[in-house]
Amino acid sequence: MIKRTLFFGNPAYLSTRNEQLVVNFPEEGRQEATIPIEDLGYVVLEDPQITVTNGLLRKLVQNKTAVITCDLQHLPCSLLQPLVGHTEQTERMRYQLNASVPLKKNLWQQTVSIKIENQASHLLQRNKNALKLKRWAKEVKSGDAQNHEAIAAAYYFQNLFDIEGFSRNQKGIAPNNLLNYGYAILRAVTARALVSSGLLPSVGIYHRNKYNAFCLADDIMEPYRPYVDTMVLDIVLSGEPYDELNKELKSELLGIPAMDVMIDGKQSPLMNAMSRTTNSLYECFLGSSRRLLYPEFL
């Protein structure tokens, strides 16, 4: 089932009644709205004048709905997640924490190789040269000791956008603003799936920054990034203004969880595919599998 994403960019009062999310607005004339909580996958809270009841937060968390809040720059800055995301959580975390260094290096090798392969497929889809990326995808060694991930990313972004002076930088020129927002949504999707699979989003297989609470999410989302890139490139090519991240652009980017992807030979919404990826990661930690299941960009 595809879960809904709700975005609140104006003042509102959010509460719950009869297992429904109830929305009331301060403006006169606006009617109360209700949405079944069981249908919700993501709730994005942007306006600082949004009030949320604790009863609603409890029900959203119990439904495994990701509640995302935004900073003053309108970018997602926090994610509310349940303390218990899976019935076997303690056991699954133990397998994750006990994962050997060779296993984690192998998992990162698979992740980087598939990410570069997906980047190459995206360039080819846009009628751009991807021979170097195709070659690098096959040359990734255990742990990516030669840092092919960074080398490929630099080449990829140099060739993806035909924009003078563009380079991938969080504080760089547009459409970096769109990429930042899209990747933040993708990160939330990944963290939600990891928690639902009983894993710790903070303990990565490659990323180890002690100030980063989502190291594993940053690892696992890598092969999914080209799906954000293709949506952003479509926006750029559409001709609509994108220097400012307005509500219309945010609305488009909030469709990322519902994007169709191909995984294991079948079409699936991205949010569902991510759950299959995180479950395959647990199976690798368990020892019942050695293969991470990622989507193929087609």
Contacts (Cβ under 8 Å, ≥6 apart) of 21? 6, 14, 15, 34, 35, 36, 37, 40, 43, 56, 60
Q: Rounded distance, CA 62 to CA 42, Å?
A: 13
Q: Rounded distance, CA 182 to CA 259, Å?
A: 12
Q: Rounded distance, CA 167 to CA 182, Å?
A: 16
Q: Which residues are annotated as a binding site?
A: 149, 207, 222
φ, ψ (nearest 5 deg) of residue 161: -100, 125
Provide the 10 A C-beta neighbour count for residue 174: 17
Q: Which residues are annotated as a binding site for Mn(2+)?
A: 149, 207, 222
199 alpha carbon, distance to own chain's centre? 16
